[in-house]
Amino acid sequence: MLLYDKYLRSTKNLYSGNDDLFASVYCSNVLPSAEKSPIEPLLIAASVLGIILLYFIASLIRHQRRNVKLNQEKIEAEIITLENERRRIAADLHDEVGPMLSGIKLMISSLEVENDSDRDRIIKVKEYIDDSIKRMREISNNLLPAVLEKRGILEALQQLFVEYQKIHGIMIQFSYDENISLSSQRQLHLYRIIQEILHNTIKHAHAKILRVELLMNNKNISLYTEDNGGGFDKLDRSNKGKGLGMRNLHSRAELLSGNLYIESAPSKGTRITLNFPNHEQDSHTKS
Ligand SMILES: Nc1ncnc2c1ncn2[C@@H]1O[C@H](COP(=O)(O)OP(=O)(O)OP(=O)(O)O)[C@@H](O)[C@H]1O
Ligand SMILES: [Mg+2]
């Protein structure tokens, strides 16, 4: 019995000792963590800030993309308006001014005059009228080449090159794939791009030779041009904003969903490459 009492006391001591131990363990685990708690709001604040920052960056990117798209749509609309205006002026010149001039020539031809000096004058006036009709046709054709719509880009380009070689004395080496076929809107963009390259070659490069290649594989059409003229410094800021030609070149390349590369340096000539898909892509079908 004495032994049993001793046992009970010793186990009670043991347990009471453990209570202290438990209390100390509990305090060291729970209370200190309650002291660390200011970190939690900091973490939450940092996460919220991170989310706000991400949201801000995402909306900035979205805003920029929307701006680029709006700008592109504005340029597309400008180009379409420009082409419509050109078409209207070309049609007015061809259908109204042309017949008017021919009528005047006919009336003058029917005049009967007695003396030689008047006859010479009439001949001179008829020559002026012929020159005016010819010039008017050139302007009208430049505005919208009839051959482009009737016979397609290859014949239109050949005609353009023959004319430029004759007038400006430049040699144009043109190689192409016979079976290139494009929608009328897309061939007009391509024609305008080549026309602008040609204008710049005459106006700025003063080149003797211009090489033009128009090739097609089943997926892509590639245009490559190279002149042996003066070239220019692409980084020279004084060239920027001088004219509309280069800007329109890029815009039309985009309308064709294509990539345009311009390579040039002073006295090294200019090389221009344009690659675009053979078929219209969804984003530009309206062009
Ligand atoms: N083939 C080229 N050779 C040399 N310089 C060129 C050539 N193409 C363009 N440039 C330079 O780039 C500049 C910008 O050309 P861009 O076609 O945009 O304007 P522009 O021809 O002066 O005017 P616009 O095309 O509106 O009539 C030109 O002023 C010229 O200095
Ligand atoms: Mg130009």
Domain ranges for the chain, please list them: 49-144, 152-287
Answer yes or no: is the C-beta of 98 below 6 A from any ligand 1 atom: no
Q: What is the mean pLDDT of the chain?
A: 84
Residue 286 — pLDDT band, cuts 50, 70, 90? very low
Q: Which residue has the higher pLDDT, 145 or 15?
A: 145
Q: Which residue has the higher pLDDT, 91 or 157?
A: 157
**Is residue 10 scored above 60 in pLDDT?**
no
Q: Would you state the pLDDT for residue 62?
A: 95
**Is residue 98 scored above 80 in pLDDT?**
yes
Atom number in ligand 1 closest to CA 270: 1
Check whether domain 152-287 has CATH 3.40.50.1980, yes or no = no
Residues 6+ apart with CB under 8 A from 183: 280
Residue 192 — pLDDT band, cuts 50, 70, 90? very high
Answer yes or no: is the C-beta of 145 below 6 A from any ligand 1 atom: no
* Chain centroid, CA 205 distance in Å: 23
Looking at ligand 1, which residue's alpha carbon is closest to its atom 2? 205
- The whole-number average pLDDT for the span 153-180 is 94
Q: Would you state the pLDDT for residue 11?
A: 47
Q: CA distances (Å), 100 to each of 23, 106, 134, 156, 225, in order?
A: 113, 10, 13, 27, 41
Q: Which residue has the higher pLDDT, 287 or 115?
A: 115
Answer yes or no: is the C-beta of 248 below 6 A from any ligand 1 atom: no
Min mean pLDDT across 8-12, 37-41, 275-279 is at: 8-12
- The whole-number average pLDDT for the span 76-80 is 86
**What digits encode the pLDDT tens for the residues 104-145?**
999 998 888 888 888 899 999 999 999 999 999 888 888 888
Looking at ligand 1, which residue's alpha carbon is closest to its atom 22? 243
- Among 227, 173, 174, which Cα is nearest to 204's? 227
- Among 193, 180, 148, 178, which Cα is nearest to 279's? 180
Ligand number, closest to the Cα atom of 201: 1
186 close to 253: Cβ distance less than 8 angstroms: no
Answer yes or no: is the C-beta of 246 below 6 A from any ligand 1 atom: yes
> What are 220's strand-pairing partners?
277
Q: Would you state the pLDDT for residue 36?
A: 58
**Is residue 4 scored above 60 in pLDDT?**
no
- Among 276, 272, 275, which Cα is nearest to 287's? 276
Beta strands in 149-269 (DSSP E): 171-176, 209-216, 220-227, 259-264
Q: Report how far ligand 1's centroid is from the alpha carbon of 81 (Å).
A: 23
Structure tokens that stand for 85 in this block = 């205006």
Q: How far apart are CA 74 and CA 56, in angstroms?
A: 27
pTM higher than 0.85: no
**Is residue 5 scored above 70 in pLDDT?**
no
Percentage of residues in the chain with pLDDT exceeding 90?
49
Answer yes or no: is the C-beta of 203 below 6 A from any ligand 1 atom: yes
Q: Which residue has the higher pLDDT, 71 or 194?
A: 194
**Is residue 44 scored above 50 in pLDDT?**
yes
- The whole-number average pLDDT for the span 234-247 is 76
User: What is the CB neighbour count within 10 angstroms for residue 157?
Assistant: 24
**Is residue 243 scored above 80 in pLDDT?**
no
Q: How far apart are CA 40 and CA 44, in angstroms?
A: 6
